[in-house]
Structure formats: structure tokens, C-alpha cells
Structure 1
């Protein structure tokens, strides 16, 4: 087996003795340099180390994103000593392995230069056998400033755009580096141009070869599955003959295993790598299908591949992964086959078929879990976010192209939770260079990434970039005069460089050149479509801040909505972790302006609120209500748009809704449904309802007609279901009229059931409540139509609200969580009742409640036992009232 040598921690980094306060982004500080050393963690980064050492404070507090920018302008050196034995020195292979280096670094071992790094997403392996010595060895890694490195490279290979908008408070030329693009700032996050050893560093010492990775390919034919395994071997960094015996063992159901083995005697390539193929035939009666979340279970099967010196000999290396058996294809075919010879039937479909079933993909977009990449790999944070996605019926997340390729743990958890991944390659919102050095850098990145992730059943599709096709066609960066130059470079990068690599190592998955795009149609138009947003093809990103986002009629048709969203502010509880200065708690404060990176962002939020809600600027609680109303507005806007897409499965064959965005990297206005603290915004609670597997979904038309849709996302049809429509006056909890409609709905489909007229009602005095009932359907939430903006309604009464906690509580021993039942009594309709427990760290299972009954109950979950009295005392609430 390979032996691993790791450096002693702490290592040390060179730092500057002081830093400037209150500097502006454009300033390049000239700071007297002194030599000092502080402990550093590996994996880690300089920002993290400086915080632990007390050199800088919390980087996410106040204006620290700018006030600590000096860190990104300087060079930094990591040093570590490690012991090497005489046996180690005598081994045939000794490789120094860096799993991830962020980003431009120069490496020395015992004062001898051994190599450099230029790509944060690449694993670097250096042959150090000739440089090791018995006893103490010193490793030194010196990092160049990523800001200056990007600037220097741009001077030679300028590629638009030069800089991010001023509102981002960011840095320029991120597109020149193979580094997390968002680390130079984005509209939802701060600039922290990180440097450091963000993944493990170690020395591998071995005699023969190691199994670095496994890729697997499954194909189903009748009752058999054909499993093709490629074991990716490394024998050092130069050509070598590898001899031995390789075995694959697949553990299947019934405590059985399927084995295959072969003897090998092969020459590696010049870099010491080679692949060995193994094939196993698996009968379908010993495995079960892997299904996306909400459609079935996620059985995973252990696959272990072992390399030995000979058939019964010493084990040299082994690799263990878990695989799932499922079929998945992205179907782009003549839409008229489904929709007939209609306007909707023109063009091509764009949907995912899993295990033979066309599935509407519900979900969101994933950005890095932390602005510092090494912290973004934190397992607890990843778990909380993915479980929050699972619990709101999401079946797909799009890993966005301006972040990082996520950790092995992330994809393993997606496999376990049934969350399919739309994986962007890491190019976003820019043109990118296409010089030889850049392309060679990218080739290694793409090959390593595809080989590392390919075996996961959760990976659904690869996409070459985020928004770069539409950016070029739409002249986002004033590239029109050089359109042909940039088009040629675009094709050179995404088509001629990336596409062949993906198709070599993962031939069964679809590679989309861009997102959004027209898919096959874009390819037929030379990869830059005349209209990449054509509603008859592919996927779209849609944002509209000028229209009424609560109005379901404003949204355009699409085959697949892979991005759409609206901003809100984080809660005051989350905001308090960034500033406790009460003067900051105002929309026009310097702090609030600093945190809002979207140009005109607060104006857009205010405009949306004023269309539907009433907020007095002179209210002493104006900012608190502004935060609360922004979350109401965001939740209702995304609810309207999502339900439009789900309804449109019936008449446009829209087959996906991934809203922007799931998570946050700091405490600021953003499009997220989960705050940086992990706290759910109202949007995330609403997602639990608007993504429900069975949903009655109304569409209020401009003609005052309400079309009523039934949506069935299950693998069984709805037979003899019942839709109830209750008509309410705002002034009373009892409906003044009810109607019932019987409905049948095919499996995995949406259907318009009926239409209702509101012409004979005073629409400012009423609202409608929709519900669905059928035996075997346990969860179908209420839905509502508010015919008039809530600021204009008549009859809404000031409610009396009583909140109590049941005496009994429940403990879940599996996750050590305590559940309490919270009872809510009201005497009037309550809009968007929002429950908080500021001094307790638990969560409610439902929130933002529209209450139309005198008594309801919600559950409260917390990780420690508390008294009923403590919980009752800590619950506070707010709601919307004109």
C-alpha cells in the first residue's frame, strides 16, 4: 500500500505586521513589511489563518471585505518540516501531491525548486524522489498575489470584461485565472481573493502503482446491466511497466458479491498513467433502481477495486466507491410529438428522462457554501444545505459555474439524498482567453474533474459555462466589434477543448456547451444561437425586476427554467452577526449600501413591495418591516413563477424549475432562500409547498378568470381526486362559498381542471383557498388566490393570536433532535405569520403562514432539550397588516 507522509502542523506563513483601516478598494496599500510567523492549518487559507491568529477580525463583519483586501495584494509563504526514513528514500516512487492549491504558487523542497501551480481546481503531483533526504525535510510554497497575477496576465491576453461593476467592491480580471471566479466578488457576495493550500498535501511513497480513480459506465439491456469499470492507475510521473493482478468486487443485494479479475502487464504513458478495464454483468434481480428525491429510493452499491502483486499476492492499492444503477437522458426531440402542430409544438423538447420516466426537475442553484473555499467544504454546512433541499422536495441542484467543483462528500451526499446535479464547468459571466497556456491548463482541470465525479449517479448533465453564450450574443461586455474573435475563442475553449474530453471520459452524459442555451439548436447554429433565449428550445435564465413579480401572467414560456429569482434581505438575527451598530439598520445607511451589490437592488425590492404591500416610511419599525416584507415579496414572486412553470408542463412541456439561489456566503441582500446562518427565509418554507408532489395551482388571468391546475409529480396517477375551492371574505374565518371538482391526472403531469370567474365579486373583499384530497395523498398544501394587491384589500381584521406549546415533546434518537408542538389560535385571517425564536437555535417545520382556521399546529425542532416554558417565552411573531 502507498505510505502517506504529511507535514507537521502548524506550518507557518509570512505576514504583514499591520494593515490599513478604512481603505478603499482601488487603493493598493504600501505597508512596511516585517517578518513574522503564525500557525496555519492545511487544508486552509491565509484569511482563515489570520483570523485565528487575531491579525484580522471576522472577515464578514462590517466593511472587512474591503478593509482586509491587503491580504490579497501581497505574497505569502507556507513552510513545513516533515521526517523521511531511510526506507522511504529507497522506495521506487515518491510523489509530492497537492490536492488543491489556490492558486498561483511556487514550490520548493529543501531549497530546490520542484514546480509551480496555476489552477485551483487541479491536483498536482511532483516527483520528489531525488530531492528527499533522510531526516528532516523542508517544504516551502510561495503564493503570488492573485490580484496582481490576474492583472499581469490580462496585460498579455486581455479578455472582456475588464472588471466587475463598481457596486461589487471587487477586483478585476478574474477570468484570467483558473480560480473560483466569485472570489473576486459577485452580485451576491464579497471579494476575498483567497490564497492557500485549500485541500490536503501529502507525499505518496510506493513501489508499483496506485489506483487514483475509478470511472464506471452502466448500460441496461432487458434484465441485465453491463457495468464497465476503468481503473485509473498511476506509477509515478514517468513511463513504467506495471505488472500485477487487478480485481473488482461489486457488493449487491442478498449479501452477494460479483467478482471479476485480470492479470495485467502494461506500459504506462509518458506521465506514468494508464487505464485498466474490467467488466461485470449484473442481473436486475440483485440490484434496484436509483431514483431522484421524491420518486423512489436511492440504493447504492459498494464497488471495490484492488491491485495486487499477483493473484494471491500482496495488495498494492485499492479504491472504494459507491455506485447506483439508473438510466438518465436529456431528451431533445421534435416537440410536436408531444404538443402537436401548435405554437408550443415548434422546436425541441428539453427534459430529463430517468429510468424511462420524463420527470419535471424541481430545485435550485448552488453557490459555494463559503466565500473561503476550504471552509465551503465543511461537512456540517454541506449536510444542512443538502438536507434543506431534500426536505423541500428538490430533485436537482445546479452547481453554478462561478464557484468550485464541490467536495467528494458533497456528491456522495447527493447520491444518498437523491439530488441530481447539473454541473457547470467553472466559467461564468465572462469571455475567457484561448491562448495555448490557458487551454492546456483547462485540459488538465476538465479531465481530472470528469474522472473524479463521473461515477456518481447524482451527476445528470455537464454544462460548459454559465451565461457566456447569451453574453456574447447580447453584447453584455461591448464585444460586438470583435464578435468573430470572441466567437472563435468561445468555440476553441468550450467545443474544441472541453467537449472532446467530456465525451472521452463520460460518453453517456449530455454535455451542454452553455447555460442558458438552445441546446442542440445552438449547436446547429454554430454554437452561438441568434436567440439563445428561444422559448421553443433548451433552458433559460429569466429575471424581471420592472414588472409585478406576483403576477403569474408576466412570465415567458420556456422548456426548462434553470435560473430565475428575486432578492430579499436576511433576517435581523442573521444581520446581527455582521453588525451590531444600530445606525446600520437602515436601507440608506453606508453599511446597507455597501452590502447591496446588485445595481439599483433596493429600488427593485422597494418597487415590488409597493406594488402589493403597504409600508409607511415613517413607521418606527420601518427597517424591521422592510426586511420582513422583502422576504414576503421574494417568496410570493418565486412562488408565482415556479407555479407558472409547473403549470406549463400541461401546454408548453416546461420540464424544470431551478430557482436562483439556494444558499448565501454572507449576511447581505441576495436571491437566496437560505441565509448565511443556515436560517430558512420565507422563500424556503414556501418552496416546501410550491414544490409539493401533488399541488392545486391556480392562475389568475388578466380577465379575472382563474384557471385551476392539478399537478401530479408521482409515479402513479390521480384517480377520483377532489379539489375544493373555498371563497372567503377577509373579515371572517368561515368561507361564504365552497365548490368541489373531481379530477383525474396522469402520473408525472399537470392538467388544467377547470376555470372560475370572479366578475361577480368585489375582488378587494375576497380571496380563494384551494385544497386537494385523495386517499393515499398525505401532503398537498393549501394554495391561494388574492385577486387584489394586499395593500388594497378591505375587511382584514387585527387578529388576536395566542401561541402555546403542548406539554408533550418527542425525541428522535437517530438525529438527537427534540420536537415540540406549537399551537396557534387566531380569531381572524392572518397573513404571513412569521414565527421566531431569536435566543434559541431551532427551527419550525412551517412558517410564513396564511392562516384561515381558528386553530393550527406547527412543529418546532431543536438539538437540545428545553422546557415548554422556555420555548413559549422565546417565541415571538410578526405578520402582515395594512
Structure 2
């Protein structure tokens, strides 16, 4: 019987310098959110408040509560354990003044026997959290410094690395009971762990259940049963035995598929433990039971000739993915509903994979459960990122323990398709000069090439393990070679124009991205400078990337004009972000099956910031999101060099006519070619451009369109700064409809990258589409959802309605 201990907590600073005591605390939670709720600190996400809160991470904090014992039904329990699902991070646990344990790993689960420490009546539980900085700096002094991406000691403590700040995140070093805590009272025996190995053998499913029991009474014979999809198996454990293996053969089960490839049927797997005589185990009677939903599917990673391809149910899957970071700096605030919204945004953008990045967390059960049900594949990094990590004790033991905890927890999930050793650490060791500065000190290689693959092979042999990303498949190969394995592309954004993506011929791109600001409503909520400009100090604080503001402007290159004022800066840099990623995604998808995956950096943000995200820190979709939705659609029509490529990632063939038109900016057709096309399911077709349309008579005054199957692609022969655009003229009609406004735009001239930003009028408003290019005479309809009616004149005027060639203001 489990009794949560989530009530009655208080928070106190154990410090002579900080006078805070007895603050009401929420568990699960953290110090920052408790201080914020008490009105003792300003919101760290607003303005530059973050700068004045660094003392929190350098202070010792104590959480304390009292509770009555015994709880209902627990008086006769043979064992009582204190179960801590998440202590962040350097914790000393005391029950009635006696130290129960000392921990130092945010990523682990802990269980401590405490029956002898409990007393009848009132009990006191106290958890003291030492300063993460003090702990990390002490460990660094012991083992020697290690290189990392930032001047913070995040690699010396087993804690969410991005807590210490990143090039998209604030430095908010937390402490607290961040996951559930409670008392588990039990008798006889309990299921200590259940590991189901779920595989397919031909058309039949197979579940091998490996159950481990913990005993309070060693002389009891036990029965372990497992049941799934109408199939049942049983095993007997003699007195003293702890391990049971049960095999269930399931004939012809409904098969689980990634989204876009089929359905996601899930089957409850139930494992029960009982005395062989059938009497109950726990005080109060009843069986010990473990239940999870499993999915039957086969999985392998095709690495032939340098490839990196997920093969599910014998079908190669092109990964249309995004990197995932913690959705909040304070993870206890992330609800299932919030995750459902964010993962829904991934699905609505036609994604089928999320990579949980190594500077974050092993995510919550809710996250993986939603992915199982949505068909979103999960690539799970072990939490190591952008630094050389020490392999000495206590690090090695902590890493093994957290890996065992989380591999066992997550292995039932059909959505989980890869264990990845780290993010960019192998590349750092080989290519960033770490080897020389380390001078023989450990750097984490033993984790990625030995410890972690051993744990995965032992506990979860049904899934592939990959040592890190980027990685080319062997320790002696250049790790970031596009011709093999996984590659990260960061010369674009940091140094190169986004057209540089066109020079790449990768097998799988696991990280690449381009920055843009958040939605206007998000920006104005977070940055409250009185006269906001692109040079405002408040805006600069919400740009964490080195030289980020200059890179945003340099990134416009010859593609778009340099902005004048905040409104133009906001629209043009958002538009440039969307164009850059659309260019890359179309380029890489057109190279399938040589390239079999793209994982953009990144889907989401953890706070309001200028970043690479498609969905900003307030959950609003940026223009990039709409561009990704088009580029990740099952069917894609794209200009690639001297050809048009048709990409068909659907399950049925695509045949019809392809029409290519060269036309003047005025809309007058100058040449038209029509060709029959047929693209197989999960295939691509490259069609050379007919000579009549391939070249412009005057690049500044012409464009080209391609149409097939209801899709249209547009190519201009010159960059926007060289195109002789007419001033945009359009007729705009608004109509109130249930839940919002319908906006119909009919172009009288060419209109380039038309967008609506209704959040400027109401932060709750959003639009269903944007970045639409209309030739003269064409019409587009937008649906703006808002809880209150919007002013039609404002909705259809600058700076809410925008296009590249808008009329001079």
C-alpha cells in the first residue's frame, strides 16, 4: 500500500545569509517555484530577473513535513519503505532526526527501509538539499577540471545539465523534491522490478517477462503470473528464489506502427505476485500487481554501408523529427495536459520522432505514454551533453544506477526506438581540442563505449544502442562525417549562409537549426522594456547564443532586407528562420533513401527566448512551425537544383500530372510544361526541369511554379533583395465565425510570404496557416481562432498582416 507524502511541507534556507524560513512548499516542486509562489522572488522568466537569483543555487535548503503513522491499512506491514522518485539533487534524508540516506543524482529512484524509524503518532520527515554548485565544484577539485561548452560545472553532478544555462536557456540551478515521495507498506514479498522484452517472431508476438521480487519473508513459496492479449503464463518461486522468467507467445497480435505508417494498438500486460497457497501478501490482503501497456512491433537499426535507418516491422522509416528539451526549467510544473498539447503540436507538424536531448532528463511516464498512443518514435539520449565527464567514483556508480533505473522503467514502451550514449561528447573529444587539454584524464568514453552498452545489452537487448551523436559507427572514424551514421550541422547558423545545407549529402541529420524570435505576445510578456527595439537590453537578455543578435542579422544575407525597427526585425528574422529550415528539410528529404532522417533543433522552449524552437516558451507556434508542417507532409514537391523532386512518404503510390510554369511577376505565363509522373509509396522521383522553364529571361522579374496533386512549389530566380517586387495589393475580407474570424485574401498583385500575427491583438489568438505566396488573382483563406472578437481593421493591417513586398507605410 502506497501512502504519498505530498502535504504540509515547508521550505527553509539553511544559511546565515538568507533569512527565509517556514515558507509553504509544494511537493513535487522546487525551491524557485516555492519562493515565487510566496512572493519572495520575481518571476525568473521575465526581463533580467534571472540575474538576481543565482544565490538560490548556492544556498542549502531544507524541506520538512510532519505526518501521522500508521496510515490506514499499514499497521501490520512487515516492511515500510520511503520511496523517493526524484530528489534534486544533493539530498540528505532524515526521518525523526535520524539520517536515512544521502543522495546526489537527480535522475535516480530511491527506496529506503524505514519501518524501525517510524513511531506511532506524529513523525517528521526532513530533506536537506545542499548547494549544487558547492557539490559540483568540490567534485571538480577532487578529479580535475574537464572541458565543456559553458563555464559552469554541470558535468560534475548528475543533474539536468541545462539547469546551469545553455545557449537557449537561463541559469536557474534548482533544488527540491521534484517527483513523487511516499511510504510503501508491504508484507511477504513485492515485485521489485518487471522487465518485459517485447518482440515479434514473424507475424506472432513474444513477451519475455523478467520479474525480480524482494522478500520480507524468505521461506514463502511464490507464484508469478503474466497475462497479455488473452495469453497467460505462470512461474513458481521456491523459498529464497528472487528471479522469474515467463514467456508468452501471442499469435497474430495487432501490430504497433509509427504514426503515418499504421495504427498504435496497445495491449495491457499484467504481472501478479502471490504466495503459492493463494493468500495475500500485503497487510490488508490482495496481490502485488504491475501493469503496463505494451505494443507489438519489430525494430532494428540498418547500418549497412554507413546508413542509419530505423526499420519498424520490416519497413524503413524516414524520421521526420525534432529535438526535445525539458519544456520548463522547473519540470514539476509540466503536466500531462501540457505535454499532450506540445506533443500534439509535433504531430500536427507531421513529425513522427522526438529526440530527448542529452542535456535534459529521462522524461516522465506521461511523456512516453503519450508517445506510445500517438505513434511518436522516441530517441532517448542518456543525460550527457557537450562536456567531458569524469568516470571516477562516485560518478561511475551513479551513472550505472541511473541507467539501470531508467532502462528498466522505459523498456516496455513501444515508442522508444533508440538508446543514445550522449550528445556531442565524442565529437568534442575528437574535434574540439578536448583531448589535449584533458592530458589523459577520463572524459566519458568508458560510459559511452562500455558501461552504457553493457547495461542496455543486459536489460533491454530488444533495442539498438548508439554511442553518441554525432557518430560515424566506430571510435576511429571522424565522428561528424555526413557519409556515415548521424551528423550535426552547425556551420550553418554559426558561420555559413543557409544555402550551405545544399552541399550536404547526409545519411541522417540528428541536429541542425536556425534561430528566430518567439511570438510577439510571448516576447512582450517576457521583455517589458519601455521602448523595445532590437538593441534593447531586455531583448539581449533573452538571447543566450554567443553573438546571437548579430548572427540573426547576418543570416538574412542577401535573402531579405535588413530590418528597420522592431516590427520588421521580428517578421523578417522569423521568416528567415522558417525559410532556412524549409530549405534544409526539402533538401534532405529529396535525398531519400540515402538520407533517412532529419531531426531539427528544436521543437520546444523551456522559457520565453530567442531560439531555434518551432514552438516558443509560451507554447505559441512560430512561423517555423508552419514551414516544418509543409516540409514534413507525406507528399512534398520541391525544386532541387535543375530538377523538381516529388517525395511520397505515404503508403500509396502518387501518380498524375506535373505542371511547371515560368511566369512574370505580373502573373503572365511565359512558358508551361506538363509531364506525367508516378512516385511509388515511400519513394522519391526527380524530374529534370524542361528547358523552356528552367532559365529566366530576367531573373529579377520572373518566377517559377510547379504543381502536382494539389501541391504547389514556388521558386524565384533571384533573392528577395534583387526581385523587382510590385507593392502588394490585395483585397481582404473578414467574417466572424464561431470561435474566431475567417480572413479571405485575394491578391491583385504578387504577394510573397503572407502572414497573420493575431497574437499582437490578443495573446490567446492564433492562425491556422501562414507564409503563403499568392500570384495575382489567387485567394487564400485563414482561420483565426480567438476567445473574443478581434478588430477587423487591426487584423488586416500592418503589423498584424504582413508580406515581404507589402506596400510602403
Which TM-score band applies after superposition, normalised by the shorter structure? Answer: over 0.9
Distance 1:332 1:162, change over 3 A: closer
Give 1:740's aligned residue.
674
**1:470-481 counterparts in 2 under 5 A?**
470-477=427-434, 479-481=435-437
Partner of 1:102: 88
Q: CA deviation at 1:518?
A: 0.7
Post-superposition Cα deviations, 1:436-492, rounded to whole Å, max 9, x if no partner, equal 211011111000100000010100111110000110001344x32546544xx5332
**C-alpha displacement at 1:217, in angstroms?**
1.8
* Structure 1 position 7, deviation (Å): 3.0
* 1:46 aligned partner: 31
Inter-partner Cα distance in structure 2 for 1:89 and 1:451: 31
| 8 A contact 2:146–2:438 mirrored in 1 | no
Structure 2 equivalent of residue 582 of structure 1: 530
Following superposition, the deviation at residue 101 of structure 1 comes to: 0.3
The structure 2 residue matched to 1:317, chosen from 273, 279, 288, is: 288
Select the residue among 769, 772, 783 that pairs with 2:713.
Answer: 783
Q: Which residue of 2 aligns with 1:417?
A: 374
Aligned position for 1:638: 581
SS at match of 1:545: helix
Alignment-derived partner of residue 196 in structure 1 = 176
Q: Distance in 1 between matches of 2:793 and 2:191?
A: 57
Q: Which stretch shows the higher mean deviation, 761-770 or 457-466?
A: 761-770
Is the 1:214–1:455 Cα contact (8 Å) retained in structure 2? no
1:89·1:129 contact (CA, 8 Å) conserved in 2? no
Any residues of structure 2 matched to 1:281-320 within 5 Å, and which? 281-284=249-252, 287-310=253-276, 312-314=278-280, 315-320=286-291
Give 1:140 shift. Answer: 0.5
Superposed, which structure 2 residues align to 1:53-132 within 5 Å?
53-85=38-70, 88=74, 90-132=76-118
Aligned Cα RMSD in Å? 2.3
Q: Out of 222, 231, 240, which is 1:258 matched to?
A: 231
SS of residue in 1 equivalent to 2:450: helix
Q: 1:553 to 1:122 in 2, by over 3 A?
A: closer
Find out whether 1:797 has 2:727 as its counterpart. Answer: yes
Deviation at 1:332, TM superposition (A): 0.8
Alpha-carbon distance in 2 for matches of 1:871, 1:305: 60
Match of 2:665 among 717, 730, 735: 730
Instruction: Answer yes or no: is the 8 Å Cα contact 1:298–1:417 preserved in 2.
Output: yes
* Matched-pair contact (CA < 8 Å) for 1:552–1:699: no
Please report how far the alpha carbon of residue 727 of structure 1 lies from its aligned counterpart in structure 2 after TM superposition: 2.4
Aligned-partner SS, 1:69:
helix
SS in 2 for 1:68: helix
2:726–2:750 contact (8 Å) kept in structure 1: yes
Q: Is the 8 A contact 2:616 2:622 kept in 1?
A: yes
Is the contact made by 1:695 and 1:772 (CA closer than 8 Å) also made in structure 2? no
Per-residue CA deviations over 1:135-157 (Å, capped at 9, x if unaligned) read: 11000000101111111111101
Which of 230, 233, 236 is equivalent to 2:210?
A: 230
Which residue of the partner structure matches residue 283 of structure 2? none
**Structure 2 unaligned blocks of 5 or more:** 281-285
Cα distance between partner residues in 1 of 2:390 and 2:220: 39
Tell me by how many angstroms 1:836 deviates: 2.3
> Which of these residues, 243, 247, 262, is aligned with residue 221 of structure 2?
243
CA 1:552–1:163 in structure 2 vs 1: closer, same or farther (change >3 Å)? Answer: closer
C-alpha deviation, 1:226, in angstroms: 1.8
Task: For 1:547 and 1:828, locate their aligned partners in 2 and report how far apart those are by CA, in whole Å.
Answer: 36
The answer to whether residue 635 in structure 2 is matched with residue 694 in structure 1 is: yes
Tell me: CA distance 1:250–1:101, structure 2 relative to 1, closer, same or farther (3 Å).
Answer: same
Q: SS of 2:558's equivalent?
A: helix
Shift of 1:535: 2.4
The answer to whether the 8 Å contact 2:351/2:632 transfers is: yes
SS at match of 1:267: coil
CA offsets per residue over residues 473-528 of structure 1, 9 Å max, x none? 01344x32546544xx5332222221111111111211111111012xx1xxxx2x
- Which ranges in structure 1 are unaligned for 5 or more consecutive residues? 17-29, 166-171, 252-256, 269-273, 335-347, 701-705, 774-779, 810-817
Residues 553-586 of structure 1: CA distance to partner in whole angstroms, max 9, x if unpaired? 6432211000000111112210112122233x22
Equivalent residue for 1:595, pick from 535, 542, 545? 542
**Alpha-carbon distance in 2 for matches of 1:150, 1:295:** 46
Tell me the distance in 2 between the aligned counterparts of 1:672 and 1:78. Answer: 35
Shift of 1:319: 1.3
CA 1:628–1:35 in structure 2 vs 1: closer, same or farther (change >3 Å)?
A: closer
| Alignment partner, residue 150 of structure 1 | 136
Alpha-carbon distance between aligned partners in 2 of 1:844 and 1:537, rounded to the nearest angstrom:
40
TM-score, normalised to structure 2, is 0.93
Measured after TM superposition, the shift of residue 750 of structure 1 is 1.8
> Match of 1:534?
481
Distance in 2 of aligned mates of 1:714 and 1:259: 37
Q: Are positions 1:571 and 2:519 aligned together?
A: yes
> Pairwise mapping of residues 328-343 of structure 1 onto structure 2 (< 5 A)?
328-334=299-305
- 1:831 is matched with which residue? 752
Query: Structure 1 residue 658 and structure 2 residue 595: aligned?
Result: no
1:186 positional shift: 0.4
Aligned residues: 791
The residue aligned with 2:244 is 276
- TM-score under structure 1 length normalisation: 0.86
1:498 aligns with 2:452: yes
Q: For 1:644-695, what per-residue CA distance to the aligned partner results, in whole angstroms no more than 9, with x for missing partners? A: 1111115xx0110111001011222111111111111111101111011111
Q: CA deviation at 1:293?
A: 1.3
Of 639, 648, 652 in structure 2, the residue corresponding to residue 712 of structure 1 is 648
Distance 1:311 1:642, change over 3 A: farther
1:146-200 alpha-carbon deviations (Å, 9 max, x no partner): 11111111110124226715xxxxxx21100000000000001001110000001
Rounded Cα–Cα distance in structure 2 between residues aligned with 1:437 and 1:654: 41
Whole-Å Cα distance in 2 between the matches of residues 31 and 67 of structure 1?
A: 19
Could you tell me whether the CA contact under 8 Å between 1:689 and 1:781 is conserved in 2?
A: no
In the TM superposition, 1:619-634 aligns within 5 A as 619=564, 622-634=565-577
Q: State the match for 2:126 in structure 1.
A: 140
